Amino acid sequence: CPAPADLRPANGTRVCAQLYADDSPYYDQCCAGDVLVVLPDSDVPYMPRGWSDRASSLVVGTKCELTVWSRRAKKGNSRRFNA
């Protein structure tokens, strides 16, 4: 997985988090497959099409916090992640 400080695409803009579709019990094989990029100050009450119950690993950038909910529209239990 990338280090939290390395979450920057080629154009250099800041990325707050990346969610990955594939995971593995072997650390060197985690953070694979499709990637969902979360930009700073994003407020997304619904997962994009095809991502519901799909994210299996994530990396949160430095100075960022990612809050996720167990149900759609920011309902249910929440959990916060940071670098």
- How far apart are the C-alpha atoms of 10 and 37, rounded to whole Å? 13
Of how many residues is the chain composed? 83
Summarize pLDDT for 19-74 with one digit per residue, the tens. 999 877 777 778 888 999 999 999 988 888 988 888 888 999 988 999 999 888 89
Residue 9: per-residue pLDDT: 67
Q: What residues form DSSP beta bridges with 32?
A: 22
Instruction: Tell the residue number behind the tokens 């992640």, with chain if given.
Output: 81
